[in-house]
Amino acid sequence: MKQLAISERLRRLLVPTTRVAVLTGAGVSAESGVPTFRGAEGLWSKFRPEELANFDAFMANPRLVLEWYNYRRELMSTVQPNPGHKTLARWETYFQEFALVTQNVDGLHRKAGSTKVFELHGNIQKNKCAKCNRPAEWPAIFDPENLPTCECGGLLRPDVVWFGELLPVQMIEQAWSKAETCELFFSLGTSAVVQPAASLPLVAKRGGAYVVEINPEDTPLSGMCDEVFRGPTGEILPRIAEYFPHE
């Protein structure tokens, strides 16, 4: 395969001392076959996600909501990280300062070996208390007939951000800081319209970073990027890594 053509500026930035920040969206997970949020079938096709992924729905009918998350967790248990996930995990060990921010809740970045991950919307494989917010260990699949509870008596729920809930303030601030101080920013597989994550490339750009987009289609972000690659991240990221001096 012919080597991917990249700019000289990007090539010069692919050294360990460059401060790098990355934002990933649903497109990265889609390459692994992760079902879309709105791709439910059978019983679940009768519900809009907004009707299930919110706190009021959970408190009104926790069994129904937990059964839906059982369905989603079972689907996601069959998918594996793709070359894009694995490449980013290697980049974490290559760059001395590297931050990975994701809008995805599937946990595939961690499964691929990434550890410096800011999961803005949470992780569907983790749980927390709906009352005190304390993280909680629980089997991946809930028993709807024996609703799990915390030590405080509150019901356990998936540790994801539901409709109407705010993203974790501290995590947003940390992601913002990484974008402000990075020298190279990658926007990967995201439509760049869901806030506040959509602002991160703009923050990086204002801070003087070189902004690169990898996505199959144009996005509202494309016009302000310094370099754009059209295609799947799982194909393009490994080809960019071919330019690493020690990769």
Which residues carry out catalysis? 121
Residue where the block lists tokens 């996005």: 219
Question: Which amino acid is it at 126?
Answer: K
Q: Which two tokens stand for residue 69?
A: 């998350």
Long-range Cβ contacts of 66-70 (<8 Å, 24+ apart): 66/142, 66/144, 66/147, 66/157, 67/142, 67/144, 68/40, 68/44, 69/124, 69/142, 69/158, 70/141, 70/142, 70/144
